[in-house]
Structure 1
Amino acid sequence: MSDLDKALADIVAIRAQLARGDAFCGFGPSAIAATGVLALGTALAQHAWLDDPTGQPLLFLGGWIATALASAGLIGAEMRARSRRDHAGLTDTAIVNAVEQFLPAGAAGALLALVLVRVSPESLWMLPGLWQVLVSLGLFASVRSLPKGVALPGAWYMVAGLAVLMLASTDHALSPWTMGMPFAIGQFLMAAILYRAREETDA
């Protein structure tokens, strides 16, 4: 390896270390709050138009997967814009680091749904609670690079997920509200923490 290659590799490593050590400011409270509104909207729509979620689990889960993708698009768009402003030259590295920390939990949720649909559709009632537990683990994995207080929504998702599993275990029923309410509360809580962190930073 030439001296130039070594120097370039060192610069890349330093940039990555700086991005990891800095609190990631790309998550905006407005986009996070909007995902909470989306969760409530999906729950309301399914409550009104989906007569039997337990009898139509694929339609129920498909609605929430679509909501998750729309939420990811909202968060991703704002994350990109805010990172360019707040992280300057470290934009791409900061985004990659933030996504890397949450990606295993998101991938696990998608694969878990796929496996249950294929091999154990009678167990799909567990997915809402398991998804919430996985979101909790993703937040805890990201806590070092996010503003202080993010552990609180992480704890909320863990408690809510376990409570949903306990409630659903009695009748194995799917309900729009066991998805909508925990996610709406968790996202609004996350938005409030991010907003407060932004105010403190500006001050």
Structure 2
Amino acid sequence: MEIIDGRRYATRAELSARAGYKGDATLRALWAERESNGHPPARRIGRTLYWDLEVWERWHAEYRRQGNNVDYSGSPDEELPPAGQAKVLGISISAITHYRDSPPPGWPAPVREEELGSGRTREYRTRRQLWAYADAGPRAGAGRTPAKGPDPKVALAVEALAAAPGRKAGETAAALAEQHGGGLSTWKRAVTEARKQG
């Protein structure tokens, strides 16, 4: 961090760490698309770009909200079953089911559980919990690509290909699906697109 005119400025790597991204490919892509996504301007000091931390974090929070497919309507304290949770987050019910046994980072604990006749339980979460989870950072199993800006799955695929250049495309897609959730075919498309960009 640098202090410039009494304000805190951060490098791309520092912004990536604060935003919870692995590597800086996603932020490089967002910067490249700045004319269409409204990314804040940078200041160059030597060979390094710096962004006003407060301005950037405010922009990034709004950018995530616009493109995260989350339904922010309804009562924050309403307790939702898995199907309702999937609808609020804009993801498939199978992702919510998968989270039961393999929760992604930051996945909230249920507010209550309901016994089902099959011996299993149904977990309920509030809209407030789901909104906080969605606003906290990149989500596993997120559905559609935001209308504006680059596809974050492609950015993750670019990073994965760079980390293991000898790995086959199918293996890379399978590893990404396991790590981040979502369908294998979705990740195969992301890897294919990442290879075109590479």
Normalised to the residue count of structure 1, the TM-score between the two structures is: 0.25
* Higher percent of residues as strand: 2
* Higher percent of residues as helix: 1
Normalised to the residue count of structure 2, the TM-score between the two structures is: 0.25
Higher relative contact order (CA 8 A, sep 6+): 1
